Structure 1
Amino acid sequence: MAKNSEIPPTYSPDWLQRLDGRTRLAQAVNQRYQDLTTDLGGNESLSYQRRSLCKQVVWMEAIIEQQHAALSRGEEIDQGKLTQATNTLIGLLKTIGLDRVARDIPNLQDYLKAKQANA
């Protein structure tokens, strides 16, 4: 199956994985996903539900930015769809949280002990 070089026309949970990783778009949205999950405490600390919502956040950002780009080129856009997408993004962000979450980092002694135990 060929990888996408554009945002698919409809959302699916695996849309990030279906993007061709060599494209700027894929690199940008994957970086945003990583940035978002890092701000929430790290991908490994998030529930499936939060990771799913993070994918939807990145999707909505991309859809909104496509609309803004079209508008900047002087193209007609559907203001209602843009408003709906913006409101959806706001709701998703409020649901997953707007604040950065500190990662749980062990102190140096515990880290060194763990390294020795794994060696």
Structure 2
Amino acid sequence: MSLTEARFHDLVDSTQQALEDIFDDSGLDVDLENSAGVLTVKFDNGTQLIFSRQEPLRQLWLAARSGGIHFDFDEESSKWQCDKSEELLGEILARLVKEQADAELDFDEI
């Protein structure tokens, strides 16, 4: 079943807020910017993670140093899942933050 526009926006908004909370509580030196539905996480080494909503596809996109990843929301698990590997957003984020910021953060709730 396809997500409604309203549900999609609610899911992305709550995911981006949860991400902001995790980064705020982490103690990492990051700059967070949330503007027009795009959340940018800037690490002190100059690398970034950029989360954007792709409304027509009902996907959450993540741009990282290693490339772009697209996520669909899986209603069964209530988690964002990579549209290619089916890996969860939280698992991918933990790996990317380790690669880009050499930090270990817990994204299990995402």
- TM-score, L = length of structure 1: 0.34
Of structures 1 and 2, the one with the larger relative CO (CA 8 A, separation 6+) is 1
Q: Which has the higher helix share?
A: 1
Q: Which has the higher strand share?
A: 2
The structure with the larger Rg is 1
- TM-score, L = length of structure 2: 0.36
